[in-house]
Structure 1
């Protein structure tokens, strides 16, 4: 019954990941710990997985990317790509994003273009942001370092076979797949919504919460008497009073102490609230708060704010800023904003103090959309050293003259020595969760092998596809990975699907490489919903998208992408 118990535990892990109630890092580490206690793996085997050379290479690449993402090259490109005819501008944006994402962290590429796209007025941002996110995925599948998913698969391949995948081994299939899919994406971009800044939808996108003080002279007077019906650019949407909502708000409704007033409208007109005595924004005087700069940010996938409310954290002390409004896609957020659980991808409108830019945890928590605040950039010499050094490392690794790990380690050392990046920044941005997930997943894969569960899975796959042939089994492994990446994170999908694909190839007596590639490309095939991939979440709220927008564009993109992968992969990597 041991193999069945292991398979049952994997099923439970998958259920927890899909539910979102347990963080992936906690779920994977807990299951690896259970397998250790049950004797499926020993202590030395478990610890070795966390020092897997391919995993260490991934971590080094992410740390070096901290310097790469501060290069002024990305900002320069973002200012020049959107000129000319909208269709040509969209094509330039997609091609440039794909090319950059083949070598740079796709999150950094999307973050660099995000602010410029949302600030410009020529082309509706909603026409550009989904193509931006999808193009970053398509560029990532073309090289070993293009996406963390490829490096995760490389970690498993090294563990299973003793050899690493080549720098451009993914390109043979990835480049033609990317070109075909980008063409379809450019064609379907016309079907995206056309949200401009002057549209009513845009003006109603933020919801501002203000508290009525106990001693406010507004208490006991009606909405009409307080002048709240004639605000410039703002509209009183609802009142929260002692746990219940009053909506719509009648003109003769009298204000009471501790009422929370929820406004909607143009964020630039938020100063209209300044003239009302005893009206506080998130517990702070409106006049003090609004005397500072307004900055719009998106909560990043690394942020410690995700899953918490503004009341759970001392936001003002943490960032020297007050939250004026919150936006999530095109949805209207109900109730008191301070009690809303924040999510990755939420847009926050911040009123920041002069000390805001001094906080060192900004990059980890936010992607900047607009405002006078700009992130510190590398100077010309630092940028040349960083970009030139990275290009050299990639070139040497591609020519097999220097292992990628060695090159990245030397480059990181040089960046630290030249003070391009600091030890403090490395500590703040070290990807602990990813390290725990992949290390634990490698241990879980080893437990599957040791317990006999992997062999049981292989026999099951063989029984299901024995009447249809090896190619059908290959398609099954790809589709399994695709379903997983749409329901859990892409790296978790690769970690769960790899042992199944490897065992299936062995059961059919086939070369495992095409099955390995099916997992790699399938784990990047996240096009249907915004919640499965971090760059989708980054553009979800800035683009004012609905989930149906992703489905409308993602369906044809996913179909063409999958068809290209399933046709080209066996031709390049025969069974």
Structure 2
């Protein structure tokens, strides 16, 4: 009975995760706490989950990556990669992204290329950004540290009493699969849209929303009388008045106090509205705008803004910037900007103050696409030391001279001692949500195993695979993981699928390693929707993509990826 109760509760957890209304870390923490309170899992197991060695290694890797992502190496490379024809630029970009993502945080790799691709004019960015995101996944599956998912799976293996996975244990499968998928992507990328890439087109994707204040001299006069028809580069599209929409707006329309005016066109000419007293934009009067510098940013996966409105967070006070417009994928959001709950991946056009670049919470909240803002980079000496130090840690761990955890711990100490990183920066960027999610996921996995819920699912897989033998069960575990990763997040998918994989291997009396690899590779097989993987969301709005763009481009990749994994894993890791 307990096993069914646990299984039903996990089904509810999956439904809530798929709804997207709650943060995965919040849900997993709540479920793990519930398992402990109900006696399904011992409190000691909960504490042991958060002390898992592989989890500690992952946290250290994330912290060390804060310095590596500030190296100017990727910025310099990005300028050279995009020269020549579109096909050649795409091939170089995918290869470089995959190579760096094998060792660096793929979010940092995509973020480094994202701004350069958005600013360049040689190749349309919408033809490059989805391939960039996909290639970062291809690189991530080739090593233990290439993606957090592999380290998460390794932490589950350690928790189950199995040996930790090794640095290049994934490579014999991951490298051939990555090469095949890049070849397939080279052709499927032809289906991507080709949006214009010039600045004017980019700014036309936004709206300006201006409210008429009660004391405005514009009140009681027509659009014609207020000279709102012949604006430089801007066009008054519609008026929202007391919940009613006036569109199109005629020249004789009389303005009322509280009217919300929606302008489109060249929104970088926002200062055109300065000459109209009594217009309020993004929390300030149009005649008291911030600096003329406009910066386009993307809300990051670490941002504290996700799920909150501009009014709730007091955006202008936090960043000394006002939001001129919001874009989500190809859609221009026309509602009142202050009331729109922001999402990870949203593009914001900001009018920024003089000290905007001095705000220390920018890296946590945004990826910068355009504008004069430049993130502080490491010096040549710091960059060389950081990259060579990281390479030494990887080599030492690979040949068994120094465990990866010890090497990363020493490197973090060196980065702090040399002031390449500061304690304040570690505090701001510490991956608390990832720690909560994985630690709680380990606890939930323990509950699935101890309660017998994982055995129920493995028995179902075994009966379903009857006649297909162990290979059928292996394919079943992989497909369950793939379905989960397309529905929820990759780390959550690994957490829920791992105990099922172990129970299935035990039911067949097989070596658990191929089933563990099925979970690891299956949890990274997110190519069909933008919401299951953080780098997909990062490129969603800058590329002005639709859901269909991911499906058309990703379906051939997903088929090739799955076929490669299902063929190679049993050959490299026999049952």
CA distance in 2, matches of 1:237, 1:521: 49
Structure 1 residue 115 corresponds to structure 2 residue 143 = no
Structure 1 residue 137 corresponds to structure 2 residue 137 = yes
* Aligned twin of 1:394: 394
* Aligned twin of 1:81: 81
- 1:52-111 superposed Cα distances (whole Å, 9 cap, x missing partner): 000000000000000000001111111111111221111101100000000000000000
SS in 2 for 1:312: helix
CA displacement at 1:246 relative to structure 2: 2.2
CA distance in 2, matches of 1:561, 1:251: 58
Structure 1 residue 313 corresponds to structure 2 residue 313 = yes
* Aligned twin of 1:252: 252
Alpha-carbon contact 1:142-1:175 (below 8 Å) kept: yes
* Aligned twin of 2:407: 407
* Aligned twin of 1:381: 381
SS in 1 for 2:197: coil
Alpha-carbon contact 2:203-2:268 (below 8 Å) kept: no
* Aligned twin of 2:421: 421
Alpha-carbon contact 2:291-2:354 (below 8 Å) kept: no
* Aligned twin of 2:516: 516
CA distance in 1, matches of 2:244, 2:407: 60
CA distance in 2, matches of 1:210, 1:461: 58
CA displacement at 1:481 relative to structure 2: 0.8
Question: How high is the TM-score relative to the length of structure 2?
Answer: 0.98
CA distance in 2, matches of 1:556, 1:232: 46
CA displacement at 1:550 relative to structure 2: 0.8
- 1:520-561 superposed Cα distances (whole Å, 9 cap, x missing partner): 111111111111111111111111111111111011111111
Alpha-carbon contact 2:290-2:322 (below 8 Å) kept: no
* Aligned twin of 1:434: 434
* Aligned twin of 1:304: 304
Alpha-carbon contact 1:195-1:202 (below 8 Å) kept: no
Range that drifts further, 10-19 or 448-457: 448-457
* Aligned twin of 1:193: 193
CA distance in 2, matches of 1:247, 1:531: 33
* Aligned twin of 1:228: 228
CA distance in 2, matches of 1:158, 1:292: 54
CA displacement at 1:133 relative to structure 2: 0.6
Range that drifts further, 98-107 or 285-294: 285-294
Q: Could you tell me which runs of 5 or more consecutive residues in structure 2 were left unpaired when the two chains were aligned.
A: none
SS in 1 for 2:310: coil
- 1:9-56 superposed Cα distances (whole Å, 9 cap, x missing partner): 111111111112221111111111111111122121110110100000
CA displacement at 1:263 relative to structure 2: 1.2
CA distance in 2, matches of 1:460, 1:283: 57
Alpha-carbon contact 1:207-1:325 (below 8 Å) kept: yes
* Aligned twin of 2:363: 363
Taking the TM superposition and a 5 Å limit, the aligned residue runs for 1:508-547 are 508-547=508-547
Alpha-carbon contact 1:211-1:283 (below 8 Å) kept: no
SS in 2 for 1:566: helix
SS in 2 for 1:311: helix
SS in 2 for 1:327: strand
CA distance in 2, matches of 1:531, 1:463: 33
* Aligned twin of 1:280: 280
CA distance in 1, matches of 2:488, 2:266: 36
Question: RMSD in angstroms over aligned alpha carbons?
Answer: 1.4
Structure 1 residue 48 corresponds to structure 2 residue 48 = yes
CA displacement at 1:320 relative to structure 2: 1.0
CA displacement at 1:461 relative to structure 2: 1.8
CA distance in 2, matches of 1:161, 1:175: 28
Q: Could you tell me which runs of 5 or more consecutive residues in structure 1 were left unpaired when the two chains were aligned.
A: none
SS in 2 for 1:306: coil
Alpha-carbon contact 1:394-1:404 (below 8 Å) kept: yes
Taking the TM superposition and a 5 Å limit, the aligned residue runs for 1:166-181 are 166-181=166-181
Alpha-carbon contact 1:208-1:326 (below 8 Å) kept: no
CA distance in 2, matches of 1:311, 1:240: 19
Question: How high is the TM-score relative to the length of structure 1?
Answer: 0.98
Change (3 A) 1:30 1:166: same
